[in-house]
Amino acid sequence: MNPANFLKMAHGDLAGLRELAFDYFNDTRRQMTGWLALVEAGNFKQLRDDLHRCKGGASLFGLERIVALIGSCESASALEERGFDLTSFEMELTEAERAVMAMTA
């Protein structure tokens, strides 16, 4: 997490930004429930679209490791060739949640 970006985004309202961040985390977790099915169905276009939106949200909050993880598989063939490590992504998301809690406590 990039603390400087996060604090800049807060504009002095850490509680409000924490709420927005957890809206993002909760929405991402809801989307994640369908990602394995997308991979199994070979629907990589939809998965790429979902991941791209997720990456945009992560970028807004300064969640650089999530941005990098998604960026590493965004090319047209990367998901098809390597798949998507949902377990690693979930671990990064959990770490991001912890970082936000620590920053806004």
Closest to 64 (Cα-Cα) out of 84, 92, 90, 28 = 92
Closest to 23 (Cα-Cα) out of 64, 54, 68, 65 = 54
- Mind listing the pLDDT tens digit for each residue in 77-87? 888 888 888 99
pLDDT of residue 97: 96
**Which residue would you say has higher pLDDT here, 4 or 47?**
47
pTM of the predicted structure, to 2 decimals: 0.88
Q: State in Å, rounded, how far the first CA of the chain is from the last one.
A: 15
Distance between CA atoms of residues 20 and 33, nearest Å: 21
- Mind listing the pLDDT tens digit for each residue in 20-76? 999 999 999 999 999 999 989 999 999 999 999 999 999 988 899 999 999 998 877
Distance between CA atoms of residues 65 and 88, nearest Å: 11
